[in-house]
Structure 1
Amino acid sequence: MQTRLRSALIGATAIAVAGAVQAADLTPKEQIQTRQAGYSFMSWNMGKIKSNLEGNFSQPQVQAAAEAIAGIANSGMGALYGPGTDQDIDDVKTRVKPELFTNQEEVGEVARNFIEAADNMAEVAAFGDEAEVKKAFGQLGESCKACHDKFRKD
């Protein structure tokens, strides 16, 4: 199990490096679309975990979803908040608040907390203890909410 988690984290690191380089080649509109796709995929996986905690718990399903979230969390999504991505572009709407672009210290803290919670969720899910998964899932949800409350428009 530890080897699998370690491999996932190594893969996520490689994605982060590649993602940062690739983000520089994207237009602001494409950056918004790409980050929204990442968040949608994480949200879908959060739903999978929640469903497992409310129904029949399947450790392999929870682990796969948690690893997907951790992979995206560690992928360098911050590179997708480049200049010009703070406002709507054509038909692509963004809900990011301007404070995200001006309060870098707080953004960094919120991001680090989210990555830590996502990594913890993946690690806990690998062991499969449902009570621990539920606790880690709550912490992950709180880290998501912290960013939404501070940096996302309603």
Structure 2
Amino acid sequence: MKFKLLIAAAALVAIAGTASAQIKPEEAIKWRQSGYGFMAWNMARIKMNVEGAAYNKEEVVKAANAIQAIANSGMGALYLPGTDTGTGWEKTRAKPELWTNKETLGKVATAFNKEANEMAKVAAAGDAAAAKDQFGKLAATCKGCHDEFKIKQ
């Protein structure tokens, strides 16, 4: 049984590697940009609720779950060789340091995933004050990555 699982895992890794190799750089950049745009929209949904007069738990939960899903989706796989420059929906704004400063990249990515997962938990609990506090922590991780790795317009 373990041998069959090992063979199946090896096959999946081979298929994933082949699929990544077949992605055109422009497509990878578009998918990255789409993912980040979707997260930005959901961050705005949370912000409107935690900073506005009326707190809508259902909206915060939906938005937090969407962010959590993308945070854990493996978007790092879209930073393929050849995607450091080029155009997706627009010219990529990833700084060259994203490909060379792996230690800092790992730290900011881990922090973002941690806070995105926590945001989903806090949102589900329904406490508006706790959601506002957690949103601040999540937003700080976004800013940290932007400051380190995104070219400002």
TM-score range, shorter chain: 0.7 to 0.9
Contact persistence 1:113–1:143 (CA under 8 A): yes
Partner of 1:26: 23
Distance 1:79 1:129 in 2: 35
Contact persistence 2:64–2:116 (CA under 8 A): yes
Partner of 2:142: 144
**Residue 24 of structure 1, CA deviation:** 4.2
| Structure 1: tracts of 5 or more residues without a match | 1-16
Q: Which consecutive segments of 4 or more residues in structure 1 shift more than 4 A?
A: none
Corresponding letter in the other structure for 1:31: A
SS in 2 for 1:66: helix
Contact persistence 1:29–1:92 (CA under 8 A): no
Partner of 2:34: 37
Distance 2:41 2:144 in 1: 19
SS in 1 for 2:148: helix
Which of 34, 38, 56 does residue 54 from structure 2 map onto?
56
**Residue 25 of structure 1, CA deviation:** 3.3
Contact persistence 2:49–2:55 (CA under 8 A): yes
Aligned residues: 137
Mapping for residues 4-153 of structure 1, pairs under 5 Å:
21=16, 23-53=20-50, 54-89=52-87, 92-153=90-151
Corresponding letter in the other structure for 2:31: T
**1:36-75 CA-partner distances (Å, limit 9, x unpaired):** 0000000000010111121311101100100000000000
| Structure 2: tracts of 5 or more residues without a match | 1-11
Q: Which has the larger radius of gyration?
A: 2
Q: TM (normalized to structure 1)? A: 0.83
SS in 1 for 2:22: coil
**Residue 106 of structure 1, CA deviation:** 1.0
The alignment's C-alpha RMSD in Å is 2.0
**Residue 88 of structure 1, CA deviation:** 2.0
**Structure 1's 23 and 62: CA in aligned 2 closer, same or farther, altered over 3 A?**
farther
Corresponding letter in the other structure for 2:29: I
Q: TM (normalized to structure 2)? A: 0.84
